[in-house]
Amino acid sequence: MGSTTAPWRHLLLNSLQANSHLRHSSYFQLATIGPNGQPANRTVVFRVFQDTTNKIQINTDCRSHKIEDLNHWPFAEICWYFTDSWEQFRINGAVDVIDGSNPDSMKLQQREKAWFDSSPKSRLQYLGPEPGLPSLDDQPIQVPSPLDPSAGPAEAFCLLLLDPDQVDYLNLKNNERISFSRKIVNEEISWSSEKVNP
| C-alpha to C-alpha distance for 89 and 82, rounded to whole angstroms | 9
Cβ–Cβ under 8 Å, residues 28 and 78: yes
What pLDDT band is residue 4 in, cutting at 50, 70 and 90? confident
* The pLDDT of residue 148: 74
Q: What is the pTM of this model?
A: 0.88
pLDDT, tens digit, 9 for 90 and up, residues 43-71:
999 999 998 899 999 999 999 999 999 99
Name the nearest CA neighbour of 86 among 178, 194, 169. 169
Cα–Cα nearest to 16, from 42, 45, 41? 45
Closest C-alpha to 45, from 141, 126, 118, 149:
118
pLDDT tens per residue across span 121-142: 889 889 887 777 776 665 555 5
Domains and CATH numbers, the chain: 7-129+148-196 (2.30.110.10)
pLDDT tier at 186, thresholds 50, 70, 90: confident
